[in-house]
Structure formats: structure tokens, C-alpha cells
Structure 1
Amino acid sequence: MEYTLLDGTGIRVSRVALGTWAIGGWLWGGTDVGDAIRAIHEALDLGITTIDTAPVYGFGLSEEIVARALREKRVPRDQVVIATKCGMEWDDKENVWRNSRPERIRQEIEDSLRRLETEYIDLYQVHWPDPETPIAETAAVLAELYRQGKIRAIGVSNYSVEQMDQWRAVAPLHSSQPPYNLLDRRIEADVLPYCREHGIAVLAYSPLARGLLTGKFTEETAKFPPGDTRARESRFTGEELRRNLRRVEHLRALAQELGKTVAQLAVRWVLDQPGVTVALWGARRPGQIAEAAGVAGWVITPAVRERIEAILREA
């Protein structure tokens, strides 16, 4: 596994982090707690020391599973980096909305500390910008938690350049978590260069495009259980799905030439982009994270990079 320091902090992170959205089950058609714990243990055995979660992932369930897995594995607290989030609220009917008001965040940090069975959060991130709450107010309360030692670093997720600018006028900003993969490269236009310029770590989520870049789907198998929102995503349906599957098949052939899987090629590509610090690899059952062992220790050459670009253009 490869490791680096989170920019502007003394926090040492694994460059592949375990993403636990699916472990919470919400929007993924449910989860199996035993499988989820074994998946976390598998990630730890691979040397993955960074785990990214959030309260809204299963309405507290993901955080609780992470805590249980670490407790059962007897992982020393200073040997794991726990990243979680705030700024979302829900009701008992699973209606979800954004809420980054200071009073909500002060409640959320205490709830997360309890669920995660820890005295501090390594990286605390605002999950989505809240249009109803001034960014300065949200930034100020995270700065307060930072000074109190309840969090070791401050991050945002899904924020634009303008929103990060507003944040940095009030509080430190150590990381940004945007979606980024071979099929979704929007951040290359603004967020990624901004973070490079200002020394903000980038934790890229969905580097496998919610499973599309694992190479495990066909038109016949791209079917999802009730509650799994991929069934409604355009990239998993119709002509867009067929186009993406053609791309994946060409990428798979290229990966095989390198002695890698298409998933390993996709995540290595993300990690090799200038300014990317961490790629979040999601898993909710054993075996789904095992390929991460083949991501470290090599880089994509300029010639291979050109072939990837040609595949994305032509397929």
C-alpha cells in the first residue's frame, strides 16, 4: 500500500481508502453486517488505514459497523484514520435533506463520536453544501471543533471552487472530496487545479463509477435490487450503458496487457492525476476490496495514458 501525508496536517493516510457508503445499505439495496465487517477487516489486512464514512450512510449504521469492525480487530486508534461527515439530516421515513447549521453540526459531531466509539475524528467533512446556511457559519463551527481537538482536519465534499473560496476566508480547509473517475472528469476544469494551487488534498470518491469500472457488468447483469439507485442512473441504462460497457471492454484488454484488472487500472489512473491524494474504493462484502493490493507500486506511463484517452474518445 502507498501512504502520504494529508496536506497541511500530520495525518498519514493510505492512498487507497475504504469507502463505506454501500456498507450502510441506504440507496444500495441493503447490507449484511457480517459481510461488511469482514470487508473492513480485509481492507485493514491489505494495509488500508483510511476509512471514509458518514452518518447518513444507513442513518448511523455505517459508522456503527466501522466502530465494531475496528473493535473486533483490536486496531490501535492511532493506527487508523477515520474520516466522516456532517451536514445531512433525516427523518424516520428516510427523507434526507441538507442541514449545515451550527447547532446541527454540534449535535452531529457528538453522535458520530459515540457511534464511532472514539474521542476524536481525524477528518471531518461537510457532506454537501447547504444553500440555506451561509458557508461562513458552517466553516466557523468546524474551526471551533478543530480548535477543541474534536477533529484533526477539516474537509468539504461536493463543494465548488467559489464555495471553497468562501470557506477559506473563515476557516482552514485541508481536503476536498469530489467524484472523479475515467467516466466523470468534471473536476479537471476547476476543482482539481484549484486544490493543487492551494495545497488542498483531494479524496476522489467513486473512482470505479459505482462499479461500472470493475468490469463485472454486462447488459444482462446490470440489474439492481429494490432501493439501489443505480437502477435510475442514466449511465447504467440504455445506450449510455452500452457505450460505457464498450469502453470498459477496451480498458480491460489494455489492463490485461499490463498484468492488471480494469479496476486496478481505473484506480491507478485516478491516483496518478496531479493533485489527487486518495482514491476511495467502496466495498461491502469480502472480495470486493482485494484487488486494491494490485494498485500500489506502479504508475501509468505516458504511452498507456494516451491509449486510455483514445479508448474513451472512440469506444
Structure 2
Amino acid sequence: MLKRRLGNTDMEITLLGFGSWAIGGGNWAYGWGAQNDQDAVEAIVRAVDLGMNWIDTAAVYGLGHAEELVGRAVASMQEKPFIFTKCALVWDETRSVSSSLKAGSVRRECEASLQRLQVNAIDLYQMHWPDPDEDIEEGWLEMAKLQSEGLVRHIGVSNFTVAQMQRALAIAPIASLQPPYSMLRRAIEKEILPFCFDNNIGVIVYSPMLSGMLSGAMTKDRAASFAKDDWRRNNREFQEPRLSRNLELVELLRQVGALYGRSAGEVAIAWALRHPVVTGVIVGGRNALQVEGVIGAGEFLLSDEDASRIESFIATMYA
């Protein structure tokens, strides 16, 4: 699989990285419903076997459970992938999630993540959300301290605006930004991606398949039968009138992919990777089969003609 250097770091990462949000399971505010842990571990192992050399997770995914699964999967590997995780979202005994960027909280989260992941240092430690905004400087300064102490190798941000990145840069370099990006969620193209390019900040995007909507596996029946603890049941992209329109787009992606033996999801991922500032894309998988269904995107280059065909459809259908 092709690799690109991540921002100002020495890490050469594959175009695709394994995302662990969904494998955290349900029973928390942004869960994806019940998850078989063995399936999750097998998905991680399969992703690495197929060439992905980095795993993205977060303390809050499954309220620590996703990190535990990543740690379990990686522990048995001889060739270790890079491990990226995040801080700034914490929970209490009632499983209620809140935000904190206080220095003490950031350090406690890091120490807990190191234990769950079973590693001595985290390759990329990211500030998950810039919330509370007034505490960005305090949290970022503590992350820089963790880096200087060797507990984390590189530090990055997620879901930041340009103004917020400028504030962080005044304290310490930013290795990477993690924003949402897909053909139906493109707000970062105007200001954020150019800023990252100008400042040598790597970009690893999440939800290139719009949380499964563009994967090719979504149907109206499936969207209507989401479990109560699957956050997508309240997402407008999975509700009418956008649901039918989105599924028409998926059909086009399926037609484009069929020309090359690729799935609709692989086309959606390849579309995100076309942007020259995007370093890598996070792809989730709840089992090994789902991983196998998208791995081809790491070697699939979408042609200008196919990209134009997709763009024309979007301009017409989503005007």
C-alpha cells in the first residue's frame, strides 16, 4: 500500500488506517450498537495483515473499550503498527461524557490510555475536540509536556478551526489534524486544508464513507432498523429525504467501482484521497470481512473522468 509522510513527523503512514470508533460498541452516547469483541480483534489483525500500518482510536470510544481491544490485538503482533489515540472527552460512573482540557485531566487520560493500549508511548496523541475553547492553550501545553517526557511521540489535533490551530501553534508544533471529510462533507476544503498545507500539518480524515452511508452496504431497511444505541439513527443523513438521495449517490459509486472491480466504499475512500493535502484516511471495520471490502482503496486511483462524473451528480442532486 502507498505511504505518505505525516506532516512534520518522521512517520510514513499508509493511505488507509484502521479506525476503531465502531468497535467500541454501544451503551454510550455515540456508540454503534452491540459489537462482538473477537470480531473486532480479528478486524484489527486483518487490517494490519493487509498492509495498514496505523490504528486510530480514542479513549472515549466505548468508554475505554476500543483502546483495550486495540491493545489486545496489537500485543500479539511482531510487526507493530503506529497507534494514534485522543484525549479531551471523559466520562463518569454513570457513563455520561463531558469535555475537559485541564492539564491534570489530559495527563490522567494519557496514563490510562497507555495502560489500556499496553504500550510505553503513544505514536500520535490528539486533542479530540477543542472544548472548552478557553482551555485549548492549557491542554495543548500539557500535551507538549507529555511529548517532551516521551510518553507520546507526536501531538495533533482533531476537529479544530484555523484560528484554534493558530493558537496551538503559538505553543508547540502540530503534527496533524483529524477532520471529517467526504464527498458530502467538504467544509474543510476552503480554509482548513490550505492552512494545513502551508504549515506542514498532516491531515488524516475520518468518515470518508459518511459513517457507513457510502459503503455500499446501507439500505433503507437497515437505516430504519438501527439499534437504540446506534447514534446514526438520529443522523439526518440516514433519514428522509436525504436517505433516498444518498442511496442514489451510492448506486453511482457502485457503477463507477464496477468498472474496476471496486466497491462503492472504495470509490468513496479513493475520492477523499484525491485531495493532495490529505495524508491518509481512517476506515472502520467491525469484522475482517468489512476490512477486506475496503482495503483496495489503498491502491485505487480515481480518474479525472470518474471524479467529474461524481461531482456532476452531486451538483445536480444536492443543489
Q: TM-score range by the shorter chain?
A: over 0.9
C-alpha distance in 2 between matches for 1:297 and 1:173: 28
TM-score (norm 1): 0.96
Measured against aligned partners, the alpha-carbon deviations of 1:16-72 in whole angstroms (never above 9, x if no partner) come to 000000111141112111110111111011011100001100111111100111123
C-alpha distance in 1 between matches for 2:97 and 2:133: 15
Q: Which moved more, 1:158-167 or 1:125-134?
A: 125-134
Percent identity over paired residues: 39
Paired residue for 1:170?
A: 171
- 3-state SS of 1:209 partner: coil
> Aligned match of 1:56 in 60, 70, 79?
60
TM-score (norm 2): 0.95
CA 1:151 to 1:242, structure 2 compared with 1: closer, same or farther past 3 Å?
Answer: same
Give the deviation of 1:139 after TM superposition: 1.4
C-alpha distance in 1 between matches for 2:233 and 2:140: 35
Give the deviation of 1:88 after TM superposition: 1.0
Paired residue for 1:88?
A: 89
Give the root-mean-square deviation of aligned CA atoms.
1.3
Paired residue for 2:315?
A: 313
Paired residue for 2:45?
A: 41
Measured against aligned partners, the alpha-carbon deviations of 1:277-304 in whole angstroms (never above 9, x if no partner) come to 0100011212111023311334222222
C-alpha distance in 1 between matches for 2:207 and 2:221: 23
- The question of whether the paired residues in 2 share the 8 Å contact of 1:181 and 1:270 is answered with yes
- The question of whether the paired residues in 1 share the 8 Å contact of 2:124 and 2:155 is answered with yes
Tell me the amino acid that sits aligned with residue 247 of structure 1: L
Measured against aligned partners, the alpha-carbon deviations of 1:134-176 in whole angstroms (never above 9, x if no partner) come to 3221111111111111111111011111100100011110100
The runs of at least 4 consecutive aligned structure 1 residues that moved more than 6 Å come to none
- The question of whether the paired residues in 2 share the 8 Å contact of 1:18 and 1:52 is answered with yes
Q: Which moved more, 1:113-122 or 1:287-296?
A: 287-296
The equivalences for 1:123-272 within 5 A come to 123-131=124-132, 133-222=134-223, 223-272=225-274
- The question of whether the paired residues in 1 share the 8 Å contact of 2:263 and 2:294 is answered with no
C-alpha distance in 2 between matches for 1:204 and 1:293: 16
- 3-state SS of 1:93 partner: coil
Tell me the amino acid that sits aligned with residue 80 of structure 1: P
> Aligned match of 1:71 in 66, 70, 75?
75
Tell me the amino acid that sits aligned with residue 199 of structure 1: N
Tell me the amino acid that sits aligned with residue 313 of structure 1: A
Measured against aligned partners, the alpha-carbon deviations of 1:205-249 in whole angstroms (never above 9, x if no partner) come to 001111011111221221211200110111101111111111111
Give the deviation of 1:132 after TM superposition: 5.5
> Aligned match of 2:33 in 29, 36, 46?
29
- The question of whether the paired residues in 2 share the 8 Å contact of 1:128 and 1:159 is answered with yes
C-alpha distance in 2 between matches for 1:277 and 1:167: 20
Give the deviation of 1:4 after TM superposition: 2.0
- The question of whether the paired residues in 2 share the 8 Å contact of 1:16 and 1:292 is answered with no
Tell me the amino acid that sits aligned with residue 241 of structure 1: L
C-alpha distance in 1 between matches for 2:55 and 2:36: 18
Q: Which runs of no fewer than 5 residues in structure 1 stay unpaired?
A: none
- The question of whether the paired residues in 1 share the 8 Å contact of 2:127 and 2:158 is answered with yes
Tell me the amino acid that sits aligned with residue 179 of structure 1: P
The equivalences for 1:77-116 within 5 A come to 79-116=80-117
Give the deviation of 1:5 after TM superposition: 1.8
C-alpha distance in 1 between matches for 2:285 and 2:107: 29
C-alpha distance in 2 between matches for 1:296 and 1:40: 16
The equivalences for 1:271-310 within 5 A come to 271-310=273-312
C-alpha distance in 2 between matches for 1:4 and 1:186: 23
- 3-state SS of 1:97 partner: strand
C-alpha distance in 2 between matches for 1:32 and 1:305: 36
Measured against aligned partners, the alpha-carbon deviations of 1:174-218 in whole angstroms (never above 9, x if no partner) come to 100000011111111221111111111001000111101111122
C-alpha distance in 1 between matches for 2:42 and 2:16: 18
Tell me the amino acid that sits aligned with residue 64 of structure 1: E
Give the deviation of 1:313 after TM superposition: 1.7
